[in-house]
Amino acid sequence: MTENRRLTFTEEARRRQIVDCTIGLMSERGHAGTSLSAIAAAAGISKAAVLYHFTSKDKVIEAALAHVLDAYVAAVSQQVEAAPDAEGMIVAYIGAAMRHLGEHPTHVRVIVEVLANTGAAAPGTTGATQRWQAVASMIDLGKEAGRFRDVDSRVMALAIGGALDGVVAEWIADPTFDLDAAATELQTAVLLALRAG
C-alpha cells in the first residue's frame, strides 16, 4: 500500500494481524525462517495481500519491531512517570523493563533476531541513544536533588542498559532464571552505585 491516506479500520486490523503473525514466527523460527510466504500462511491470507500492506519482508519486520518497541516504551514509561522521585524512577525503570520483557518473551526474541540479522537499533543508533539519554535524565534529576553523587550520567545509563541486556540474555538462554530476583538485585546495586553519601 503506497498511498498516503488514512487507513480504514479493516486495513488497520489486517496490518496488526500481519504484524502479530510476524512476531510469532520470528519468535519460533528466527529471522531467516520468517518469509513472506510463512507470514501469509500464518495470517491465512495470500502473499500478495501481505505485499499490499507492506512492500517487502523488511517492511513487515520493521513494523513488527516498531510495535514491540512501542509496547515496551509505553509500559516502562507509565511506571517511570508515576514514580515520586529520581530513585523511584530508576527502580521503576529497571522493574518495569524486566517485568515487561518477562511477560512478552516473543517480543524479546524479535528484538534479538532483528539485532542479530539486520543491525537495526544497534548501539549508536537512534533507539539506543534515546534509551541511554532517558536513563541519564533520571540520573541527572537525582544529582540535582542531591540524592545521587556526581557520577557521569551517560556512563551510568549505559552501564544500567548493559546490565539489563545481560540479565535478559541470561533469561533467554535459561528460562528458569528468576527475572524478578534479578530485577531486585539490579535495583539495589544501581542505587548503591548512585546514592550520595
Retrieve residue 59's grid coordinates. 517492511
Q: Is 105 among the domain residues?
A: yes
The three-class DSSP label of residue 195 is strand
Helix axis angle for 9-29 and 105-118, nearest 10°, is 80
Q: Domain count for the chain, please give it.
A: 1
Joined grid coordinates for residue 79: 511506571
Nearest to 36 by CA among 47, 23, 24, 25: 47
In a domain? residue 69:
yes
- Give the pLDDT confidence score for residue 120 in this predicted structure: 54
What's the average model confidence in pLDDT over 14-25? 95
Task: Evaluate whether residue 4 is within a structural domain.
Answer: no
Rounded to whole angstroms, the Cα distance separating 44 from 97 reads: 33
Residue 195 pairs in a beta bridge with: 148
How many CA atoms are closer than 13 Å to the CA of 76, on its beta-carbon side? 21
If you average pLDDT over residues 110-127, what whole number do you get?
A: 66
- 160-182 confidence digits (pLDDT tens): 999 999 999 899 899 999 999 99
Backbone Cα Rg of the chain:
19
Residues 107/71, Cβ–Cβ less than 8 Å: yes
- The domain that holds 30 is classified in CATH as 1.10.357.10
Whether 1 is in a domain gets the answer no
- Note whether residue 169 is domain-resident: yes
**Structural domain contains residue 2:** no
Find the domain containing 181 and state its range: 9-194
pTM for the whole thing?
Answer: 0.83
pLDDT of residue 125: 44
